Amino acid sequence: MTLRQRGAFFYLFLFLCSRNAWADVEVTMHKNIEVYLGDSVEIPCQYKFYEVDGVPKFVMIQWFVVKNAVTRARARIYYGDDQHQVVDGDTEYTGRIQMTTDQHGTKLTIKKVQLSDQRNFICSVNGLSDGTMERKTYLSVFAPPEAPIIKAVQAGISVTNEMPSTVAACQARNGFPQFNITWYRNNIPLVPSAGRVKVWTGETVESSGLYSAHSTLEYKVLKEDKDANFSCEVSFYVPGAIRTVESISVGITVHYPVTMVELWRESPAGLIKEGDTVELRCQGDGNPTPTFIFSRAREDGADEDLDSRGNVLMLQAVSRRDRGLYRCRLPDGTSHDDVKGEMELNVHYLDPAVVVPKESEAMLKGECLTASCNALSSLKTSMVWYKDSKVVGEGNMLHLQDATYETAGEYVCEVTVPALPTLHTNGSVHIVVHGGPQLVGEEQEVHLKAAVGKTVNLSCEARGHPAPRITWIFDGCQNWHEVFSKSGDHMTHSVVSFAVDSDISAICNTSNDFGIDVRAFNIKAIPLVSSSTHFSPAEGSGVIFVVIILCLLLLGILGSVLYFLHKKGKIPCGRSGKQDISKEKTAKDDIVMEMKDNGIAKSEDAVLLNAVNGDKNGTNEQ
């Protein structure tokens, strides 16, 4: 009989009520009593004498323990009668038991129950002639084991292993009687089955007599076990019941092959342009994470492997040459060829704008010109033309019609990509308008009146390209000089100044390669009678008067001739008195200086006559 077979999880209150035919005494005991290790336990033993009205003359009570279940060898541990109650000395119970006795029975109390106390205790009642009988109680001792300790295998377990692999080990110590270990996966018991689950259990008896057990779980791992929880549980008997204690849950590392690979762009978001740094990432569903090989499909169809770091491929400063089909795959031979990630990478670009005509273009006045602006791009572009920061056109064509000098200037074509605003460029063309001089202002002839002695400014401004030359032709006066001169890309401006001493006619002759334009000025001198004293301090220098008279005379004659000729539109070129300002400037300046030294030039009362706003009456005296 094993302990387990004798064990029971219910109390036996079976009183044996049978009566021996030859005995007049009846002894009653529990068949089994269960107790925790270390506790105290009471084992009662009741008796009754029938023939002597329940009260015999002499009763002797002895308690024995069975020392050997096979030989049934027994040892007495207690003796009691009318006179003596003796706990036998030198037994394992000496000092550990107590006896309580009354008329109907006796009760054995064992303190600090030990494992060795699991045995039969015999109560023997002897009334000599009144009868003799003995009964026994089996004492069962229980010690719950410590909580089980589980340890999962640390290394990864591959699903490709053909046989079940060791997954975890479980240990529970110091229990009594023997106990069981059960394995659980996600709280469902794992029942051993061929090729799937195998459990190895071992049991040891500690020096204390308590049992310790360990169990190893072998298990055929599947991919879904990567998230599974494994635990073990001990089940053990306690007085009247079975109890269980579970270990903590542990997970295992499952190694499984890659079945799917994904390749995607991590950054930047949106459209990619040349110069961007692009980060591609690859991820597979396998464990452990494999090292991927990145490649790009070349034009000829072959894959070109690329340098990558882990599962990241960085493409620095991409260009349009980096466009194409990118792939990531596992090292050759580790998986099927079709397990790979793919993605198309597009890199957008915008080439520098090309404006036709290039750089600089000359137009003739009145001409038309269409300029075009083109910038090669992978995306739709939008063009706006600017001149002097003002929008002058949209689209890739710019039409310049009927060119004037205002048409001249810098035209910038600004190219943008609406879908990718960070892409933009520009190009420009410089338009030059060629044409003959064109004087600013309407009049062909300007008539002025000025008081004698006053200083008069004549202004002449002409548009044209190349910049017109301005030549002044004075009749009857040699004291004029240029006080202002400016020449730009499309204009020339000259102001001359002189003191009025008599009627003067002057011609502003502007010319360039494309033509000429002239304007005549007629200045009528108004004699100043009251201020003639101004001239008296001229120290009687008759020369001045002679000059003045000569001037007046010459002016009179030449003026009428010029006027006559001019009216007929036939001013002859290269007349005497003509001065090319640009060539004879220094000489003229000298003249001015000389005249000033003579005290003739008077500049406080001067009139600037701007031809643009020129007054028909011509005189503007301050």
Ligand X SMILES: *[C@@H]1O[C@H](CO)[C@@H](O)[C@H](O)[C@H]1NC(C)=O
Using CB under 6 A as the criterion, which residues of the chain lie in contact with ligand X when the complex forms? 179-180, 186, 227-229, 235-237, 242, 249, 412, 414, 426, 455, 457, 471, 473, 483-484, 495, 497, 507, 509, 511, 516, 518, 571, 573-575, 578, 606-608
The tokens for 62 are 């002895």
Antiparallel, parallel or unpaired: β 445-451 and 515-526: parallel
Q: How far is the CB of 272 from ligand X (least distance, A)?
A: 20
**Toward ligand X, which CB reaches closer, 330 or 373?**
373
Please compute, for residue 287, the number of CA atoms within 13 A of its CA located in the half-sphere on the CB side: 16
Judged on CB neighbours under 10 Å (0-12, 13-18, 19+), 531 is: exposed
**Toward ligand X, which CB reaches closer, 86 or 238?**
238
For residues 375 and 354, the answer to whether their CB atoms sit within 8 Å is: yes
Instruction: Tell me if residue 18 falls in helix, strand or coil.
Output: coil
Q: How far is the CB of 427 from ligand X (least distance, A)?
A: 8
Instruction: Tell me if residue 588 falls in helix, strand or coil.
Output: helix
Single-letter code of the amino acid located at 98: Q
CA distance 19 to 17: 6
**Toward ligand X, which CB reaches closer, 44 or 577?**
577
**Toward ligand X, which CB reaches closer, 81 or 227?**
227
Q: How far is the CB of 83 from ligand X (least distance, A)?
A: 48
Q: How far is the CB of 63 from ligand X (least distance, A)?
A: 31
**Toward ligand X, which CB reaches closer, 518 or 611?**
518
Closest CA to 308 of 328, 286, 285, 290: 328
Residue 88 CB neighbours (<10 A): 16
Q: How far is the CB of 279 from ligand X (least distance, A)?
A: 27
Q: How far is the CB of 391 from ligand X (least distance, A)?
A: 11
**Toward ligand X, which CB reaches closer, 153 or 280?**
153
Which residues make Cβ contacts (< 8 Å) with residue 616, sequence separation at least 6? 443, 447
**Toward ligand X, which CB reaches closer, 330 or 500?**
500
Q: How far is the CB of 331 from ligand X (least distance, A)?
A: 32
CA distance 358 to 427: 9
In Å, the largest CA–CA distance within the chain is 200
- How much is the CA Rg of the chain, to the nearest whole Å? 65
- Stated length of the chain: 622
Report the residue closest to ligand X, judged by CB: 573
Q: How far is the CB of 9 from ligand X (least distance, A)?
A: 9
**Toward ligand X, which CB reaches closer, 63 or 236?**
236
For residues 303 and 327, the answer to whether their CB atoms sit within 8 Å is: yes
